[in-house]
Amino acid sequence: MAVDERERTTGSAGLAIGSGSRLTRVCVRGVLLLGVLISLFPFYWLVVMASGTTEDIYSYPPKLVPGPHLLDNMGRVLDTVDFFGSLFNTVVVAVVGTALVLFFDSLAAFAFAKYEFPGKRFLFGALLATYMIPAQLSLVPQFVTMAEFGWAGSLTALIIPGAANAFGIFWMRQYAQNSLPDELLDAGRIDGAGFFRLYWQVAMPLFRPALAFLGIFTFISIWNDYIWPLVVMIDPDRVTLQVALANLNVLYNTDYSLVMAGALMSVVPLIVVFLIGARHFLRDLAAGATKM
Amino acid sequence: MATVADPAEAGAPADDGGGRAEGRRSRATAPGGRRRHGPPLLAISPFCVLFAVFGAFPVVFSLYLSFQDWDGIGDMRFVGLKQYGWLLEDSVFWHSVLNTFEIWFLSTVPMLFLALVLAFLLHSQVRFTGAYRVAYFIPNVTSMVAMTVVFGSVFAQTGLANSALKVVGMDGVGWLSSEWGIKVSLSVMIIWRWVGYNALIFLAGLQAIPTEHFEAARVDGANSWQTLFRVVLPQLRPVVLFAAVTSTINGLQIFTESQVLFQSTDVGTIGGPGQEGMTIVLYLWQKAFKDHQFGYGAAMGWLLFAIIAVFTLINWRLVSGSDREGRAGIRSLLRRKGAARNGR
C-alpha cells in the first residue's frame, strides 16, 4: 500500500516522463499498451491455434481469429494422451510438494529466527551456499540416488527432494524476524506453550502473508518444472503435464491444433492460480528484490 | 555460541551470547541443555536430512562421478582427470558453450534495456499499474514447454513470423533452420519471458528512491535527463546488478526452450539443425540421459558451475564497481535467486 502511494507522489513529479505534454502521456500509454499486447499475444495465438484446424494454421494468410474447433481438439487430446492421468500427477506433486515446503520451511525458519541451538550459524551458512550451486550439477547424482532408492518413475521422486528448500527457509526467516514479536512468544511461554505449540498457534497465523507468497511461488515452480520430471519419470505412461505435452509435441508435431489444445489445457490451471494470488504475489516479489 | 557441538555443554550460564529470545527462554524453562535445544533441532531436522541427502550428497557424489566412466549399469571405471581432458577436446561441448554465450548475450542485453524502459514508463504511469504488472508478469509464470510449442509454430517456415514478413513484401527467414535464426528465435523466447519480470524488479527499485532526491535535483535545476543519469540510475545500480546476475545465471542454464523446440527421438538432431541450438545444459542432458555417460555429464555439470561462478564474479565487478556494493549484491542475490529459478 505504501508503495502505491509513493508511486503516486514521485511518479510524475519525480521522473518527469509522464508529466510533460499530453502527447508524451499518450506515447507512454501507447508503449505500455504495446508491451501488454506483446506479453499477451502468444496466449491469444495459442487460443486461435487450439480452436482451429491444422489446415487453418498452415494456410496463408493465417487466420487471426479463434475458430470453432476448440472442443473437438480438446477431445482429441483426451483420446490421444492420458491427459487426466498426467494432470493428476502434476496436481498431486504440486499440492503435496507445496504443503511440505510450507510446513518444513516455516518450521525451520521459526527455529532459525527465534531460537539458539548448536550448529545454527554453520547450518544457515550451508543453506545459503546451496543457492550458489546450479541445479544441473546435481542432476546426474540425483537421478542415480533416485534409482538406488527405487523411486525413479514414482511421484515420490518429484516430491521429496524438493520438500524443503533454502529459498523458502531464507524467505520465512526474514519474515519471522521482522513480523513475529518476541513479546508474543514470551506471552505464549508464560501460558505454558512449548516450541511446537508456539509455532503452530502463535507463529503460523502471523506467517500467513509470507506463506501465501511462498506457496504460490512454489506451486508455480513445481507445476512448471520440466527437466527433473523429464529425467526421473522413466515410464512414458506416467509423466507430468509438462513432459506429456513435450511428448505430444514430438509425436504429433504435424498436428498443430492437437498440440496447441494440449498446450492450452496445460497452461490454464496455472494461470488461474496465478491470477488469484497475483496482487499479493507481485507486491512481495518486488519488495523482496529491493530490500537489501 | 552457535557452534557449540554438544547441546549438553551449552549450559545455561554460558549462553548469553545468543539471541534475546533464547536468553529469556532459558530463564523461563529448565536450564538442562538437551531439553532446551531439542525442539528447535527437531524443527530443522527435516530440512537437514533433506539437505544432506538431496543437496550436499549429490554435490560430493557428482564430483566423484566426474572422475569415473560409467554407463549407469555396469561397473564404474576410474578415469580421473582424463574425463575433463576429453570434455575440453570435445568440439560439440565448445560449440554448446559458444551457443550458450551467444544466446545469453542476444537475449540479456536487449532484455535488460527493454525492462529498464518499461520500468520508467510504468513508474510515470498512475493508472492501471496493477493490471500492467499482472500482464507483464504472466509470461514469466507460464509453462515454458507450452510457450515454446507456441513460439515454435510462430517461427515455423509457414508460421506467423514469416507470414508477417510476406505481408510487408520480405522473404521468409529460416527461423528454426539457420544459425542466426535459431539463436534469435531462442533469444526472443527468453526476452519475452523475462522482460516483465525484470521490469517489475526495476520498478520496485525506482519506487524505493526517496522523493526528496527528486526534489533536491529539481531545486538544483536538473532537467529530466540529468535527473535520470545523475539521480535515478546510480541509485538503481544494486537492482540492475541483481537483474544482471540472475539473468546471467539463468541464461547460462538455458535448456527447456531448445530441448522442446528441437526435440527429436533421433539423437542426431538434438540442438536443432547444425546443433546451433545446442546449449551446455542440453548437451549435459544428452550425454548423461540419452547416451548414458553419467561421468561425462557430471564433469560437464562442474564446468558449468565454474563458468557460472566466473561470470557471476565478472558481472558483480562490472556492474557494482565497488566491493561493498558487490557484497550487498551478493546478499540480495541470495535472497532472490530462488525466486528467479522457477521452471528452470
The Cβ of residue A75 has, within 10 Å, a number of other Cβ atoms equal to 12
Q: B46–A224: do the CB atoms touch at under 8 Å?
A: no
Q: CB distance from A98 to chain B under 8 Å?
A: no
Of B254, B138, B250, nearest to B185 (Cα)?
A: B254
Distance separating alpha carbons of residues A7 and B183, to the nearest angstrom? 38
The CA–CA distances, whole Å, from B157 to A279, B35, B166, B221 equal 39, 70, 12, 55
Buried b (16+ CB within 10 A) or exposed e, B237-273: bbbbbbbbbbbbbbbbbbbbbbbbbbbeeeeeebbbe
CB contacts of A275 in chain B (<8 Å) are 134
- Say yes or no to pLDDT of B64 above 70: yes
Q: What is the mean pLDDT of residues A116-141?
A: 84
Cis peptide before A134 (omega within 30 of 0): no
Which pLDDT belongs to residue B324? 53
CB neighbour list of residue A274: distance below 8 Å, 6 or more residues apart: A216, A220, A281, B138, B141
Q: What digits encode the pLDDT tens for the residues A237-252?
A: 889 999 999 999 888 8
Stretch B252-280: mean pLDDT: 84
Averaged over A145-162, what is the pLDDT? 91
State chain B's mean pLDDT as an integer: 81
The separation between CA B133 and the C-alpha centre of its own chain, rounded to angstroms, equals 21
A41 touches chain B (CB under 8 A): no
Q: What is the pLDDT of residue B47?
A: 86
Nearest CA in chain B to A158: B54
- The pLDDT value recorded for residue B74 is 82
pLDDT of residue B75: 85
Contact state of B288 with A139 under an 8 Å Cβ cutoff: yes
Find residues 170-199 of chain A whose CB sits inside 8 Å of chain B: 170-171, 174, 182, 185-186, 189-190, 194-196, 199
Q: Which sign does the torsion angle of CA B264, B267, B270, B274 carry?
A: negative
Give the whole-number percent of chain A exceeding pLDDT 70: 91
CA dist., res. B315 & res. A128, Å (int): 20
How many residue contacts between A and B have a Cβ separation below 8 Å? 411
CB contact under 8 A, B61 and A144: yes
Which of A190-194, A249-253, A266-270, B34-38 is most confident? A266-270
A34 in B contact zone (CB under 8 Å) = no
Among the partner-chain residues A108, A166, A271, the one whose CB lies closest to the CB of B338 is: A166
DSSP state, A67?
Answer: -
Q: Is A28 on the interface with B (CB under 8 A)?
A: yes
Indicate whether B342 pLDDT > 80: no
What does the pLDDT read at residue B22?
42
Residue contact B301–A43, C-beta within 8 A: no
pLDDT at B123 over 90: no
Most confident of A55-59, B34-38, B176-180: B176-180
At residue B211 the predicted structure's pLDDT band, cuts being 50, 70 and 90, is confident
B226, B244, B238, B236: which is closest to B203 by C-alpha?
B236
Residues 257-276 of B with CB under 8 A from A: 259-260, 263-265
* Residues 50-69 (A) with a CB less than 8 A from some CB of B: 57-58, 60-62
| Phi/psi of residue B68, nearest 5 degrees | -115, 150
Provide the 3-class DSSP secondary structure of residue B78: strand
A80 and B CB contact within 8 Å:
no
Q: Per 3-state DSSP, what percentage of chain B is helix, strand, and coil (rounded to 5)?
A: 75, 0, 25
Looking at residues B255-283, what average pLDDT do you find? 84
Kindly indicate the confidence band of residue B37, based on its pLDDT and cuts at 50, 70 and 90: confident
Q: Does B4 touch chain A (CB under 8 A)?
A: yes
A223 has a pLDDT exceeding 90 = yes
What's the gap in Å between the CA of B5 and the closest CA on chain A? 6
Confidence check: pLDDT of A286 > 90: no
Q: What is the mean pLDDT of residues B133-139?
A: 93
Is residue B245 predicted with pLDDT exceeding 50? yes
- What percentage of chain B exceeds 70 in pLDDT? 81
Residue B315, pLDDT > 80, answer no
Overall average pLDDT of the B218-225 stretch:
82
